[in-house]
Structure 1
Amino acid sequence: MTAFGGCAAAAVGSTLRGHVTTDDSEARRELEALRARYEAMVEHAPEAIVTFEVDSGHFTEVNHAACELFGRSREELLALSPWEVSPPAQPDGAPSDAAAMTQVQAAMRGELPSFEWMHVTREGAPIPCRVQLALVPGARPMVRGAIWDLRELKSAERERNRLREIAEATPDLIGMADAEGQTLYLNPAGRRLIGYGDRDLSRVSIADYHPPAVAHRIMHEILPGVVAKGLWRGESVVLHADGSEIPVDQTLLAHYDDDGGVDYFSTIMRDRRGAVAAEELERQVLHAQKLESLGLMAGAIAHDFNNILVAILANASLLQRLCAEDASLTKVAREIEGAADRAAELAKGMLDYSGHSRREMEAIALPRVLEELSTLVTASISKKVRLRTELATELPPAWADGGQLRQVLVNLVLNGAEAIGDGAGTVLVRAGVDDGAGFESRYDYRSPDLEGPWVRIDVEDDGCGMSAELLDRVFDPFYSTKRMGRGLGLASVLGIVKGHSGAIGVEPRPEGGTCFSLLLPVAPHEPQRVQAEPTGQRVDGVGRRILVVDDEAAVRSVARRCLMYLGFDVVETGGPIEALERFVEAPAEWDAVLLDLTMPELSGIQILQRMLEVRPTLPVLLSSGYLPPESMDELGANVAFLAKPYTLRSLERALGELIPLATAETRP
């Protein structure tokens, strides 16, 4: 009888002894049938089953699964012992033969030892196994072993451990939740992201670490979609334990059981705060570049426009003088001049936008300005709109052009009142001191020359607010949401702030309405000298020679006519090099020079410097459609500035102021 047969006999012996029968052959047949069934069951069992003698150590029986496990035939295995299909030592370093005898002795005592064991194939490849031993009753001591192949399990464990190591090390949130949305796992990065630390997650739902609106969408819209499609990707928001919201990129996956139902969900989230900040920085840079480009374009257009207007305005004013006795012609000339003046205002607006308009900087007391503001806007806003002002105590004066600052405030207040519409509302103008640390509005312009300390002015309304599109275009020239909107609108506000080396920001209020914020420099303790305006005295050009330098032929032509009308001997030139050559030939011949600041080859300042090197007291009238140069105060009393477009009257006043102040020189 085989060992497996012996096992079968032992299993049923007690049953047969319990029956009283006179037919021994029938009992033997039952025993043989039972043994055959038992052997068949063992032979076809999925786990490897072996028996071996304790004394000899050799296998006495092996089933088919054992042959498959060890990669040997039945005959080969029956010639071996269990430790001959084991490595010399187990993974813990213990010798295999000694470790095996310890387990066998336990089985001999009637115990059922169960343990992990390392076997090897014919080629020596390791076979991790679980082994359970049991004593086989009989005359010879034998032990039966059931052996389960753990290679797939160990491989799965290694894979699971690798995945866990990856999940534990990744900077992204990785989590799992059951079909009901209860959290099963959250990696360390995920715990840090939502601020949960070592908190027990067994009762934490997906909804608990999302804002309410997002949680509702996930539980009622996204997860049902994931169940149906298996996957969802998109942007989401998680809720930190401190209540702050964190934007994330999220992927949700459904994992199904054998019946097709959801076993669990997994998710990966990547913190988007850095990406959002980078996107916002890029948006601000692009917005600033757009504003800068528009400003440069507006300034260039205004400059060219002013050159054209010089010809119109100066000719119109000259025509009025020449036709003073002809009322009809004088009227026409005045109408031309009036239209050109309106065009000049538009050009001035473009210069305001570009930051190149002329300013008279002074210390401005804001309490007085805000007091005047109510008078300036009352007639233009609805009686239902209330204008309120709030002033900080010990408010320092702002360093600004008073007229331009009033223009900015009036524009912003009117803009706020129009946003309120026909209903009741409030426009609040608030002034205080700011260190600039919190001035990080989403839509803003900061001058590269912005230096503290600053005066901050907020103009806030509770009107209809602004859409994202409007916020992006609010400072664009000629952009308006009003049917009858015209002009530069808030673009001129931006330009004035630029020209003051300040900053401006606009942001919608969560409760509705909009807030514009301005930063302006605080006035210096020692006010800077402001160049005086011409006194307006007339000039007699008879017997005096003047050099006109301008690259625009129309400007030279009208300047020549006006100067000849005033009695000057006029020489004009359109090129900087030619102008210098003429001047250097006889520098003492010239009583004055009318010099354009913006020309090709050499700028007006470069020409001026070379002329003054030759003759330091030369009277020079600089002219431009842009701002006067910053160094005007350092150039001396014999250098003045005349803004384009100019008229005969303004040209006459400027020369009348300049020539008497120039150092007298005796001609040879």
Structure 2
Amino acid sequence: MDGSNTGKSLARSYAIGVAALFLLLVTVSLGPYLGIQTRAQFREIEASWLNYSGDAGKKGVWISSIRGYLGYGGVIHDFKNYILRQDPFCLDQTRVQLEQFQAVIEDYLAAPIGPEERAALEVIGATVREYEVKLPIAVQAAQEGWDVARTDRLVRVDDTAAIEALGQLERLWQANRQKSTERIIQAVGEGERLIWVGFLSVVSLVVAALTLGVLFAVLLLDMRRAMHRLADELRVRRRLETSEVRLATAVEQSPATIFITDMDARILYANRRFEDITGWTRAEVEGKTPRFLQSGDTPPEVYREIRESLARGETWQGVFRNRRKDSGSYWAETTILPLIGPDGTVQNFIGIAEDITERRHARDQVVRAQKLEAVGLLAGGVAHDFNNILTTIVGAAHLAALDAPAGSAIAGEIEQIDIAARRAQSLVKELLTFARRQPGRPQPTNLTTLMLEVTRLMRASIPPTIALDCCDGVEPFIVMADPTHLHQILMNLCRNAAEAIGGASGTIRVSAHAVTEDLPEGLAPRPDGWVRLEVTDDGPGMSADTRRQLFDPFFTTKPLGKGSGLGLAVVSALVEEMGGGIALDSALGTGTTFAIFLPGAREAELESEAPPDEIPRGRERVMLIDDESEVAGTFRRMLLRLGYQVEAFTSSVVALERFSRRPRQYDLVITDVVMPGLSGEELAEAMRRLRPDVPIIFCTGYAPSGITLSGPAPDVLDKPVDPALLARRVRAMLDTRGA
């Protein structure tokens, strides 16, 4: 019994020992197994994380850059902007971005990629190369002035495949990132499963190996906490990555330029807007101070103020005119502020600038408008008195010329007086016209006759080294324009051409011909056609910068006191008022050609004029009123020489009193407009009430508005009045009354 019990005990002990040994072996083997599996899962997580944050990250940057070059502000955008605007800056940007795009494609192709990614990159590269191949065609179109539609047909590129390929790249990249994320999640899940297996194993083996089990349980619990921490960190990192991408996108797409510097003001970062506005790339500006942006307009004390403000930890705000890489400039409203670290110290500086160039231009336009208003007030104030003086000079010169022997020295001097007076008259009309104080009266005008008249006047006032060639003997060209304004246009263009040639030898050619094609933009064919008036000189020509500002008011290349800067601005305003257009062809060293397109008119509409040498005369009685005694005396002497009986008055009140006594005694009334007591209009209305049919001619040095008068329409002459024109208008009014 005892032996059997002992045997049973031994057997039981043996069984327990075998079981304990088995459990021990299981425990010992389970530990390495779980450790090996856990290490494998950590390696899987590590490999997945490296793939997630490394290779896929680089591809994301490359794909973002490719999208930028294909999108707004990229290669295609700048290429099309160049086609539409023909702006050299867009051409330069296109070439720079083509080089940058090629660099990104080469980096991407050098990386380990799949066949689908390689095929998509080749499609995108081929599309951009088509733009690069067609870039010379666009350049040639800009140089030769092709029509935009024609250029677009020649350079159009179908970029649909490139857009689809870019979408394919993004899908492949997103799929790769998704796959890496799933690998990480799967590895984390597998690790958690192993943790639970180990935990249950320890619980089942706790009786046999309590100490080992406790220690192993503690170890597994620590591992579990580590896995949870890793999972939490992964989620936090994903949120941070999303936030960083959002912030980076906002900074990159910001409409303001943003750059960050270190404490020594060396640039560490600049956004895309900075590159677009300044023309410098990030690689070119990194490590440099913003000194390369300085245009020289800002005083040194301003930069000293900036340094002192930043040293105190304060924000500085101001406006700079910065320099671009292409030597151009732009205005930037800038804010510079210090970036404070967690310890309260300044670690970096950030500059944020808004391009306000257009706003500055608008402000300059307001200033220019105010200046023009001042010119208008000045012109209106002096025109009346100045034109009265010129009227006396022109009239006296005409009367003196009648008594001077033909071809004598005194006749030549009188002609010079007449030319000088007419040039002064032209200057006053420029001011009045530019200030919109003297509207034009379009009428059919013989352009050929006017060309010959202007060239005759110009020949007497330009140096003998300049030849003035006018197409004499050509067919008459009839245009619909104000003769006075057309005279101003021709005088201004010829005078500018002579001043451009200066003291050198040269030639000025004035010509005209009818045109039906090659009209400037905005001009359409018309039944009476167009006439192209050309003024060409072989002077030094103009630079591109001068051509851009040529028609701006007050812009002049002449020395101080040699030019008002209004001549070509007046020409532009007058041509626009006539409904015509201007074309300019000039370059340095090739001379200049101004082409003025004027609306044509039928010759049958041209008013018949007496030949220049036939001045009509008469014996009728004329009442003459002008508050300037010199003007009244000059007009009286001219009319007396023509045979008329003239009563002259310097007081409108006295003249009305004399007229009221015998209204039928006078055949014609000639009166000034601006006079003390009664104005010319008030005087004429009072005379018309006494005699409704009396013919009236207004002679005015400055008419601020249209003259309205009851009864037969009056005639209006601008001072200074050409004596021959006065004689013809007087005769015409008297003959109309007789008819």
Using structure 1 for the length normalisation, give the TM-score.
0.48
Q: Which has the higher helix share?
A: 2
Max Rg structure: 1
